Amino acid sequence: MEKTAFVTGASSGIGRATAVALAAAGFRLVVAGRRRERLEELAQAVAPTHVHILTFDVRDRAAVEAAVAELPTEFKHIDVLINNAGNAHGLAPIQEGDVADWDAMLDGNVKGLLYVSRAVLPHMGEGGFIVNLGSIAGHEAYANGNVYCASKAAVSMLTRTMRIDLLPKGIRVAEVAPGMVETEFSEVRFKGDAEKAANVYKGVQPLRAEDVADLIQFMVTRPPHVQLAEVIIFPAAQAAAATVRRQS
């Protein structure tokens, strides 16, 4: 029987790459994001995979619940949930932080993950698998990372507690915590400043979204008795959150 994977933040970056990788592995897809035109392009790119598109912001609990409640019959059973949607806004010391940025990160990275998980879990039975996208920032603090680091530390701890809570239901829960990945991440963090975003990866060969997607595909296709519970993935040029080898 064809399995169904539900991917949030699927309109770009790691989410999009993961949807493509899971389609290649034989999953049908529920793809969610805020930019419908990008999700439609994704659906065309993975054809003939069966795809159902949901358009919502994970921060909007009512929208999340309504969208999941209205899934068509053929997509109602979810085998894999990829909680990928999230964001980073700003890079400032705590005393200079923008409160709106703090709200966006906590609402998206933490509450959004909770809203989606709560909505999807009634549609997931034994053998289900949830992958939460964390970050090395959730395992190591770095200067000016404050609220983003805190939000991703929450993802890490939520993953561990979800794994305990869902054990009796036979649902596996894992975290993938990437280091430097070249996506739209830095452009969002720096409010569209392309030069600042490019400098993040200057002199480094970062991970690609597809590298993380390959890992996720591997994790969710292991035999039912195997669980890769927590994986940190770096580019070879990175040793820790703020320890990077740059070459000219």
- pLDDT tens column, 63-101: 999 999 999 999 999 999 999 999 999 999 999 999 999
Query: Residue 148 catalytic?
Result: yes
CB count within 10 Å of CB 124 equals 22
Torsion region of 144: left, alpha or beta (phi above 0 gives left; psi -120 to 50 gives alpha): left
pLDDT score for 43: 98
What distance in Å separates the CA atoms of residue 115 and residue 111, rounded to the nearest whole number?
6
Q: What SS3 state is found at 71? A: coil
Domains and CATH numbers, the chain: 66-244 (3.40.50.720)
Catalytic residue among 115, 142, 148, 201: 148
- Give percent of the chain above pLDDT 90: 92
Q: What average pLDDT score do residues 131-156 get?
A: 98
Q: Counting every residue, how long is the chain? A: 248
What pTM, to 2 d.p., does this model score? 0.96
What distance in Å separates the CA atoms of residue 138 and residue 148, rounded to the nearest whole number?
8
| Residue corresponding to tokens 């993938």 | 176
Q: What average pLDDT score do residues 13-35 get?
A: 98
